[in-house]
Chains A and B, each alone.
Chain A
Amino acid sequence: MINEGQIIKVAGPLVVARNIPNARMADVVKVGKLGLIGEIIELKGDSASIQVYEETAGLGVGDPVISTGMPLSVELGPGLLNSIFDGIQRPLPELLKKTGDFIGRGIAVNSLDRNKKWDFVPKAKKGDKVSTGGILGTVAETSLIEQKIMVPPGVSGTIDEIKKGSFTITDTIAKISGKNICMLQLWPVRKPRPFAQKLPVCEPLVTGQRIIDTLFSLAKGGTAAIPGPFGSGKTVVQHQLAKWANADIVIFVGCGERGNEMTDVLIEFPELKDPKSGKPIMERTVLIANTSNMPIAAREASIYTGATIAEYYRDMGYSVSLSADSTSRWAEALREMSGRLEEMPGEEGYPAYLGARLADFYERAGYGICLGTDERRGSFTIVGSVSPPGGDLSEPVVQNTLRIVKVFWALDYSLAYKRHFPAINWLISYSLYLNSLENYFQKEVADDWGQLRGDALRLLSEEAELEEIVRLVGEDALSQREQLVLFVTKSIREDFLYQSAFDPVDQYTSLKKQHLLLKVILTLYGEGLCAIESGVEIEKIKNISAMAKVARARFIPEDQAPKELADLEGLIKGEIESLKGAVK
Chain B
Amino acid sequence: MTKDYQTITRIAGPLVIADKIEGAKFDEICDIELPSGETRTGQILEVDGDKVLVQVFQGTEGLDIKNTKLRLKGRGLELNLSPDIQGRIFSGLGDPIDKAPQIIPELKRDINGSPINPCARNYPNDFIQTGISAIDGLNTLSRGQKLPIFSGSGLPHARLAAQIARQAKVLGGKDKFAVVFGAMGITFEEAEFFMSNLRKTGAIENSVLYINLANDPAIERIATPRVALTAAEYLAFDLGMHVLVILIDMTNYCESLREVSAARKEVPGRRGYPGYLYTDLASIYERAGRIKDKKGSITLIPILTMPDDDKTHPIPDLTGYITEGQIILDRSLDRKKIYPPIDPLPSLSRLRDKAIGEGKTREDQPALANQLFAAYARGREVRELVVVLGEAALNDTDKLYLKFAEQFENRFINQGENDNRSIIQTLDLGWELLSILPREELKRIKDDMYEKYGKNKTS
Residues of A whose CB lies within 8 Å of any CB of B are 8-12, 55-62, 84, 92-93, 95-96, 99-104, 229-231, 254, 256, 258-260, 262-264, 266-267, 289, 291-294, 296, 329, 332, 335-336, 339, 345, 348-349, 387, 389-392, 417-419, 471-475, 494, 502, 548, 551, 555
A-B contact count (CB 8 A): 200
* A-chain residues with CB within 8 Å of residue B353 when the two chains form the complex: 502
B23 near A62: Cβ-Cβ < 8 Å:
yes
A473–B348 Cα gap in the complex (Å)?
A: 34
Pick from A230, A293, A494: contact of B283, CB under 8 Å? A293
B286 near A292: Cβ-Cβ < 8 Å:
yes
A423–B26 Cα gap in the complex (Å)?
A: 45
A102 near B46: Cβ-Cβ < 8 Å:
no
Pick from B26, B267, B287, B388: contact of A59, CB under 8 Å? B26
Binds A, one of B172-180, B201-209, B273-281, B333-341: B273-281
Is B185 interfacial (CB-CB < 8 Å)?
no
Is B114 interfacial (CB-CB < 8 Å)?
yes
A473–B313 Cα gap in the complex (Å)?
A: 35
Query: Chain B 113-136 against A: per-residue CB contact (8 Å), 1 yes, 0 no?
Result: 111111111111000000000000
B366 near A502: Cβ-Cβ < 8 Å:
yes
Pick from A339, A419, A494: contact of B266, CB under 8 Å? A339
- The answer to whether residues A339 and B267 also contact, given A266-B118, A419-B374 and a CB cut-off of 8 A, is yes
A61–B324 Cα gap in the complex (Å)?
A: 40
The smallest beta-carbon distance between A305 and chain B, in angstroms, is 15
- The answer to whether residues A294 and B318 also contact, given A57-B76, A60-B26, A101-B237 and a CB cut-off of 8 A, is no
The smallest beta-carbon distance between B397 and chain A, in angstroms, is 11
A548–B144 Cα gap in the complex (Å)?
A: 41
* A-chain residues with CB within 8 Å of residue B389 when the two chains form the complex: 473-474
Is B155 interfacial (CB-CB < 8 Å)?
no
Query: Chain B 318-341 against A: per-residue CB contact (8 Å), 1 yes, 0 no?
Result: 101110111000000000000000
A296–B277 Cα gap in the complex (Å)?
A: 12
CB-based nearest A residue for B124: A260
* B-chain residues with CB within 8 Å of residue A262 when the two chains form the complex: 118, 121
CB-based nearest B residue for A61: B47
Pick from A10, A58, A348: contact of B270, CB under 8 Å? A348
Pick from B49, B117, B289, B370: contact of A61, CB under 8 Å? B49
B26 near A258: Cβ-Cβ < 8 Å:
no
Chain B: number of interface residues, binned into ranges: 35 or more
B443 near A58: Cβ-Cβ < 8 Å:
no
The smallest beta-carbon distance between A124 and chain B, in angstroms, is 38
A418 near B279: Cβ-Cβ < 8 Å:
no
Is B432 interfacial (CB-CB < 8 Å)?
no
A266 near B345: Cβ-Cβ < 8 Å:
no
* A-chain residues with CB within 8 Å of residue B377 when the two chains form the complex: 417-419
CB-based nearest A residue for B278: A332
Pick from B26, B324, B345: contact of A260, CB under 8 Å? B324
The smallest beta-carbon distance between A350 and chain B, in angstroms, is 9
Query: Chain B 333-374 against A: per-residue CB contact (8 Å), 1 yes, 0 no?
Result: 000000000000110101101100000000000100010011
The smallest beta-carbon distance between A56 and chain B, in angstroms, is 5
Pick from B47, B117, B317, B354: contact of A60, CB under 8 Å? B47
* A-chain residues with CB within 8 Å of residue B370 when the two chains form the complex: 419
B119 near A230: Cβ-Cβ < 8 Å:
no
CB-based nearest A residue for B25: A60
B312 near A296: Cβ-Cβ < 8 Å:
no
A84–B345 Cα gap in the complex (Å)?
A: 36
The smallest beta-carbon distance between A297 and chain B, in angstroms, is 11
Residues of B whose CB lies within 8 Å of any CB of A are 23-28, 45-50, 76, 110, 112-124, 144-145, 237, 266-270, 275-276, 278-279, 282-283, 285-287, 289, 291-292, 294, 311-314, 317-318, 320-322, 324-326, 345-346, 348, 350-351, 353-354, 366, 370, 373-374, 377, 385, 388-389, 393, 395, 440, 443, 446
CB-based nearest B residue for A91: B119
B48 near A11: Cβ-Cβ < 8 Å:
yes
A56–B276 Cα gap in the complex (Å)?
A: 16
A/B interface sample: 8 pairs, CB < 8 A: A11-B26, A11-B48, A101-B294, A102-B113, A104-B114, A387-B321, A389-B270, A474-B393
- The answer to whether residues A292 and B388 also contact, given A93-B119, A390-B317 and a CB cut-off of 8 A, is no
B26 near A58: Cβ-Cβ < 8 Å:
yes
Pick from B116, B318, B325, B393: contact of A389, CB under 8 Å? B318
In addition to A293-B286, A471-B385, A502-B353, 5 A-B residue pairs with Cβ atoms within 8 Å of each other are A61-B50, A96-B119, A263-B121, A267-B123, A293-B287
The smallest beta-carbon distance between B123 and chain A, in angstroms, is 5
Closest CB pairs A-B (n = 6): A390-B312, A292-B282, A57-B27, A293-B286, A102-B114, A10-B26
CB-based nearest A residue for B281: A292
B26 near A264: Cβ-Cβ < 8 Å:
no
Residue among A96, A260, A348 with most chain B CB within 10 A: A260
A391 near B275: Cβ-Cβ < 8 Å:
no
A229–B320 Cα gap in the complex (Å)?
A: 9
A332 near B275: Cβ-Cβ < 8 Å:
yes
The smallest beta-carbon distance between B94 and chain A, in angstroms, is 18
Residue among B48, B118, B374 with most chain A CB within 10 A: B118
A84–B322 Cα gap in the complex (Å)?
A: 21
* A-chain residues with CB within 8 Å of residue B395 when the two chains form the complex: 475
The smallest beta-carbon distance between A470 and chain B, in angstroms, is 9
* B-chain residues with CB within 8 Å of residue A61 when the two chains form the complex: 23-24, 47, 49-50
- The answer to whether residues A9 and B48 also contact, given A267-B123, A293-B115 and a CB cut-off of 8 A, is yes
* B-chain residues with CB within 8 Å of residue A84 when the two chains form the complex: 118-119
Pick from B123, B286, B320, B385: contact of A230, CB under 8 Å? B320
A260 near B317: Cβ-Cβ < 8 Å:
no
B324 near A418: Cβ-Cβ < 8 Å:
no
The smallest beta-carbon distance between A477 and chain B, in angstroms, is 10
A5–B377 Cα gap in the complex (Å)?
A: 63
Pick from B48, B118, B440: contact of A259, CB under 8 Å? B118
